[in-house]
A and B are shown apart, each in its own frame.
Chain A
Amino acid sequence: MRQEPINRLSEKGLRVWRIYGIIQTLIVFLVGIGVGVINYFTGQYIWLYIVDGVVILLMGYLLIYLFPKIRWTRWRYEVREQEIELQHGLFIVKRTLVPMVRVQHVDTEQGPILRKYDLSSITISTAATSHTIPALVTWEADELRGRISVLARVAEDDV
């Protein structure tokens, strides 16, 4: 077995994903309420209320608790001198290898929620693909961006 990449995301990233989960659950909740109201005025099927409630609870559990947890524990990255390696994925484990020579540019980005937690995402682009590391502490992301861009400039195509 090849070794997993060493570095993990910031623990605050997990908290941010939980917040995303809460927002998504809220949407599911509103839809669920809608279904409940329609049911109240049309059929008043008991079983539909139960299914409705169970679905909302289940989605809440998955979106707020389980999925962020799996995603966070799965997420690993490692920036070595000659390549970047990423591992992520919820149902499908994806391990990506990007040689430094192929890196064209690196961007960092910060949405409103990420900013509140002093986090940034970092996106590595090649000529044909782009890869995002979603939640790193801002100073860490900035440093990493600098490091990658230096390494990408140094790396030479020996093939």
Chain B
Amino acid sequence: MMSKEKFTLHPISAVINFVKVLKEMILPLVVVIAVNGFGGESGGWTSYIIYIIYAVLLVAMLVSGIINWKRFRYWFEEEELRIEYGLFVKKKRYIPFERIQSLNYTEGIFHRPFGLVKVKVETAGGGATKEADAELTAISKEAAEQIKKEMNLAKNKDSDLLDEKLQQDELVVEQRKPLFHMSQKDLFILASTSGGVGVFFSGLAVFVSQFSELIPYETIYNEIIMFIRFGALLIALSVFLVLLVAWLVSVGMTFINYYKFTIWIEDKEIIITRGLLEKKKITIPLSRIQAVRIVENPLRQLTGHATVIVDSAGGSLAEKDEKIKLIPLIKKEKINPILVQIFPNYEFEANFTRAPKRSRKFFYRLDFLWMIPVAACVSYFFFPFGLFSLLLFPLSFLWGAWQHKTAGYWKDERQLVVQYRLFSRVSIWMEKKRIQAMTEHTTYFQKKANVSSIMTTIKSGVAGSATTIQHVEKADAESLMEWFEPTRIALIDIEKEQPL
């Protein structure tokens, strides 16, 4: 029926295997060299033993890399992708094509000169262990296409599906145009604002330590103050320098990782490609997407930028919840036109119902509970300066008020949108059919104030991800529960039909 020819990986995969192990070994090696090198006196041949062990290990790794490559076979048989591998123990893994959720391609620096890709096969998961996935370290692009073809062939055995597929194929040609391409400018903004808060604060510290010039310290204990001021400046400067370097590294990393970030829609799948040195291609079947989040951190909120993240069910089992950056950075007004094209089922214009004014206290009051004893202790034991801990109260009040202002929800017949803030403002779009369960929480104090919180849970990765609408009007909370209650919906439908 199908070709039973067995395929091997490209020889370069032996090198890739080796380098991968090498990367993991390099840190301990550096430590060993550092310890030995600075240890001073050398103790004869024993000081070399560690290097000898390392050398033996390296050779062993190289050999095992080669054997692993030699042993690896894959072929297609009975609508399954079959893999055979193993160093000492020969293992076989058969993956039915229908269970394959997506094929992800990566082109690393070793792949690109030879036109190769790494293929990661992701299955539906469903409680299986990490073992369920398969990875083909390096195969030619044609071979990767071949897998895809075999998979589609197997999946389209049902004839009506085939028709649908054909229609889709026609659409594909039109939709090959990328939906979103991140410009160099946006890439630069993304890179420079990632983790930028720390640098900002340490810069501020340097500024403040300079500013202290203006405070008339001279009148008090001149000498001590000179020392403190110098010390503070030194610390602030070195912290600033360290953070600056860390920031530059993170800018570089972001730039390399997100270079040429592009998304397409193809065949009911979202395809993301990105990367400078290592080209990554990620596919997410649209049917697996459980929710869409728009995240605006305060810094980017100022410049009107946001990040779009999608929650996907199943997926690589390594991570507990699977949140994928769909758009790492985009001007806010440009989001909707793109999302509408990807998710025609969603309504992206939301008109939020906010939490009532009287629920504001719930956003900070609980924090006061632990802050009072802490502030009291700190103030008592570090008397004059400990009093600064009292600043926690107005700060946490402001933070709570800020969260209160952001908290809200909006629903229409098919979807629920929730907005909340920890530091970043998050707006999350969930279809009703994707919500697994909904819980209304009411504490004693909430009951007195006539407010309630609603927690919704969706599937994300292999686990769940909960979102809470905090402290909204009781009536609103109940209307949300009713919105989610199938019996109630059925009743409403009957009422609607009766007049006809």
Q: Contact residues of A with B, CB < 8 Å? A: 1-2, 80-83, 85, 89, 91-102, 126-129, 131, 155, 157, 159
Beta-carbon contact of A2 and B481 below 8 Å: yes
Closest B-chain residue to A80, C-beta based? B487
Residues of A within 8 A of B442 (CB): 92-93, 95
Nearest-neighbour CB distance to chain B for A86, whole angstroms, equals 9
Among candidates B431, B436, B439, B484, residue contacting A128 with C-beta atoms closer than 8 Å: B436
Q: Are A95 and B481 in contact (CB under 8 A)?
A: yes
User: Top 4 nearest A-B pairs by Cβ distance?
Assistant: A128-B464, A82-B486, A159-B433, A128-B459
B→A interface (CB under 8 Å) = 313, 414, 431-433, 436-444, 447, 457-460, 463-465, 478, 481-482, 484-487, 490
B485 close to A129 (CB less than 8 A): no
- Min CB–CB distance A61 → chain B (angstroms): 19
Contacts of B490 in A (CB 8 A): 82
Known: A96-B438, A96-B440, A127-B459. 17 other contacts (CB 8 A): A1-B478, A2-B482, A83-B485, A85-B485, A92-B441, A92-B443, A93-B441, A93-B442, A94-B441, A96-B439, A97-B485, A102-B436, A102-B437, A127-B464, A128-B457, A155-B486, A159-B432
| Option from B436, B478, B484, B485 in Cβ contact (under 8 Å) with A126 | B436
Given A126-B437, A127-B313, A131-B437: A82 and B487 interface contact (C-beta under 8 Å): yes
Q: Are B486 and A83 in contact (CB under 8 A)?
A: yes
Q: Is the CB of B457 within 8 A of A129?
A: yes
Partner of B437 from A82, A89, A92, A98 at Cβ < 8 Å: A98
In the complex, what distance in Å separates the CA atom of A54 from the CA atom of B433? 52
Interfacial chain B residues near A99, Cβ < 8 Å: 484-486
Contacts of A100 in B (CB 8 A): 486
Q: Is the beta-carbon distance between B437 and A97 smaller than 8 angstroms?
A: yes
Q: How far does the alpha carbon of A101 sit from the alpha carbon of B437 in the complex, in Å?
A: 11
A-B contacts, 30 listed (Cβ < 8 Å): A1-B478, A2-B481, A81-B487, A82-B486, A83-B486, A92-B442, A93-B443, A93-B447, A94-B439, A94-B440, A94-B441, A95-B439, A96-B437, A97-B438, A97-B481, A99-B484, A99-B485, A101-B486, A126-B436, A127-B436, A127-B464, A128-B437, A128-B458, A128-B459, A128-B465, A129-B436, A129-B457, A157-B433, A159-B432, A159-B433
Closest residue of chain A to B290 (Cβ to Cβ) is A128
Contacts of B440 in A (CB 8 A): 93-96
Indicate the member of B313, B431, B438, B463 with the most A CB atoms within 10 Å: B438
Give complex CA distance A83, B432 in Å.
Answer: 14
Partner of A91 from the list B414, B444, B465, B486 (CB cut-off 8 Å) is B444
- In the complex, what residue of chain B is closest to A159 when comparing beta carbons? B433
B457: chain A residues within 8 A (beta carbon)? 126, 128-129
Minimum C-beta distance from A45 to chain B (A):
22
Chain A residues near B433 (CB-CB < 8 A): 157, 159
Please, which residue of chain B has its CB at the minimum distance from the CB of A87? Answer: B440
Task: Please name the residue on chain A nearest to B345 by beta carbon.
Answer: A159
Residues of A within 8 A of B481 (CB): 2, 95, 97
Assembly CA distance A159 to B443 (angstroms): 33
Chain A residue nearest in CB terms to B481: A97
> How far is the CB of A14 from the nearest CB of chain B, in Å?
22
CA distance A159 to B486 in the complex (A): 10
Whether A128 touches B460, Cβ cut-off 8 Å, given contacts A98-B437, A99-B486, is: yes
Q: Nearest Cβ in chain A — how far from B88, in angstroms? A: 38
Residue of B nearest to A86 (CB): B439
**Interchain CB contact under 8 A, A91 and B436:** no
Least CB distance from B447 to A in Å reads 8
Interchain nearest-CB distance for B220 vs A (Å): 44
- By beta carbon, the residue of chain B nearest A85 is B485
| B240: min CB distance to chain A, Å | 44
Q: Which residues of chain A are within 8 angstroms of B484 by Cβ–Cβ distance?
A: 97, 99
**Whole-angstrom CA separation of A131 from B457 in the bound complex:** 12
Residues of A within 8 A of B486 (CB): 82-83, 99-101, 155
CB nearest to A97 among chain B residues = B438
Residues of B within 8 A of A131 (CB): 437
The residue in chain A whose Cβ has the minimal distance to the Cβ of B460 is: A128
Contact present for B437 and A129 (CB under 8 Å): yes
A126 CA to B457 CA, complexed, in Å: 10
Contacts of A2 in B (CB 8 A): 478, 481-482
Cα A129 to Cα B460 in complex, Å, equals 11
| Bound complex: CA A92 to CA B470 (Å) | 14
Please, how many angstroms separate the alpha-carbon atoms of A95 and B477 in the complex?
A: 11
Residues of B within 8 A of A83 (CB): 485-487
In the bound complex, how far is the Cα of B179 from the Cα of A144, in angstroms?
50
Closest to A93 in B: B442
A91 contacts B443, C-beta separation under 8 Å: yes
Closest to B321 in A: A128
Chain B residues within 8 Å of A101, by CB:
486
A91 to B440, CA, bound (A): 13
Residue of A nearest to B474 (CB): A1
Residues of B with C-beta under 8 A to A127: 313, 436, 459, 464
B482 to nearest A CB, angstroms? 7
**Contacts of A94 on B, CB cut-off 8 Å?**
439-441
Q: Which residues of B contact A93 (CB under 8 A)?
A: 440-443, 447
Q: Give every chain B residue within 8 A of A126 (Cβ-Cβ).
A: 436-437, 457
